[in-house]
């Protein structure tokens, strides 16, 4: 037995800290939650309000724009229609809205953090264990304090998703920038480019394929979080899976599961196609 005297009451400290946060900063958290919720509800409203065939066409068009292949565009359209035929269109749109918000938030936070990590070895040393923690810590552990701070519903679901899904885009942004050929950087410096010019004109464009791969993985991970998110009141496909588990309705669970997979495949193909194209694109050319 490990001597009890040496036990650290970490749990108690965390409880006290969360209580203190709720008491002192509850209003602030609520305001933040409200603004996030407004965006999500608005997006959800649009996606659910759009006729299904327009959504299917939109997905096909995006697919074609990304891949320049009719086959892929048609395949994506069929996958979306298949979700509809399972009777899960509306739920899929709710999930989609959640996923878009969570992924956008992850990218908005993740890319700058990744850039900062690439530029500073010290920050990188600090961030790596944090990222490991974010990815391995069971999500229920941070769902509970998130619930206490933001209440039941979509906002804690989004935050839990961001914590789980942001690490890949952070890691791959860092990696992408670090992999840029040294001689190319040296050439850029020899022409008198400032750090800012090097970042925008050389490092980011060359890291773009890796960043796109990171965004793709982040998207996939945020889709995979929908089931857990549904446990704290986020609606959508995860809710159906949960219901299937609770009622031992294997069929309903399977339907929703397939719809999640289809949604994931659709966004994976789009993300990958953009990733491939970004390897030679005039993107970021004129930003400075």
Partner 1 sequence: MSYIEIRNIFKIFGPDPQTALQMAKAGADKDEILAKTGHTVGLHDVSLSIERGETFVVMGLSGSGKSTLIRHLNRLIDPTSGEVLFDGTDILAMSISELNAFRRKRLGMVFQRFGLLPHRNVINNVAYGLEIQGQDRKTREDAARNWIERVGLGGYEDKFPDQLSGGMQQRVGLARALATDPEVLLMDEAFSALDPLIRNDMQDELVKLQGELHKTIVFITHDLDEALKLGDRIAILKDGKLIQTGRPEEIIMHPADNYVRAFTRDVNRSRVLRARTLMQPISDDDNINASWPRIADDMRLEDILPVALATNGSMSVIDGQEKLIGILSKEQVIAALVA
Q: Does 186 bind partner 1 (CB under 8 A)?
A: yes
Residue with tokens 């994931």: 264
Q: Does 132 bind partner 1 (CB under 8 A)?
A: no
- In this structure, the dihedral spanned by the alpha carbons of residues 28, 33, 39 and 43, taken in order and rounded to 10 degrees, is 180
Please give the angle made by the CA atoms of 118, 209 and 60, to the nearest 5 degrees: 140
The nearest distance, CB 191 to partner 1, in angstroms, is: 4
| SS3 call for 181 | coil
Residue 260 or 273 with smaller CB distance to partner 1: 273
Q: Does 34 bind partner 1 (CB under 8 A)?
A: no
Residue 163 or 207 with smaller CB distance to partner 1: 207
Q: Does 272 bind partner 1 (CB under 8 A)?
A: no
The nearest distance, CB 114 to partner 1, in angstroms, is: 19
d(CA 76, CA 106): 24
Residue 111 or 166 with smaller CB distance to partner 1: 111
Residue with tokens 């209440």: 151
Which of these ranges, 20-28, 36-44, 184-192, 250-258, lies near partner 1 under the rule CB under 8 A?
184-192
The nearest distance, CB 74 to partner 1, in angstroms, is: 30
Backbone angles phi, psi at 186, to 5 degrees: -60, -45
Q: Does 206 bind partner 1 (CB under 8 A)?
A: yes
CA 32 to each of CA 23, 36, 82, 225: distance values in angstroms, whole numbers, following the listed order: 16, 6, 37, 22
Residues that bind partner 1 (CB under 8 A): 181, 183-184, 186-194, 197, 201-202, 205-206, 208, 279-281, 285
């Amino acid at each position: 037995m490990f001597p009890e005297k040496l036990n650290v009451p970490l749990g108690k400290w965390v409880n006290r800290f969360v209580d203190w946060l709720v008491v002192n900063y509850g209003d602030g958290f609520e305001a933040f939650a409200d603004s996030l919720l407004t965006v999500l509800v608005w997006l959800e409203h649009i996606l659910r309000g759009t006729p299904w065939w327009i959504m299917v066409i939109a997905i096909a068009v995006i697919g074609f724009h990304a891949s320049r292949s009719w086959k892929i565009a048609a395949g994506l359209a069929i996958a979306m229609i298949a979700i509809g035929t399972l009777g899960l269109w509306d739920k899929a749109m709710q999930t989609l809205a959640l996923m878009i918000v969570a992924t956008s938030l992850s990218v908005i936070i993740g890319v700058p953090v990744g850039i900062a990590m690439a530029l500073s070895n010290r920050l990188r040393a600090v961030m790596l264990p944090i990222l490991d923690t974010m990815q391995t810590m069971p999500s229920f552990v941070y769902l509970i304090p998130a619930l206490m701070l933001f209440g039941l519903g979509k906002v804690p679901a989004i935050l839990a998703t961001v914590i789980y899904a942001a690490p890949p885009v952070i890691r791959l942004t860092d990696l992408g920038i670090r992999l840029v050929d040294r001689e190319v950087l040296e050439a850029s410096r020899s022409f008198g480019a400032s750090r800012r010019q090097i970042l925008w004109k050389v490092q980011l464009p060359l890291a773009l394929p890796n960043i796109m791969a990171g965004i793709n993985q982040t998207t996939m991970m945020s889709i995979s979080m929908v089931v857990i998110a549904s446990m704290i009141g986020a609606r959508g496909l995860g809710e159906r899976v949960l219901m299937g588990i609770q009622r031992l309705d294997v069929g309903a669970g399977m339907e929703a599961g397939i719809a999640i997979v289809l949604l994931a495949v659709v966004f994976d193909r789009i993300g990958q196609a953009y990733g491939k194209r970004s390897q030679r694109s005039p993107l970021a050319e004129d930003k400075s």
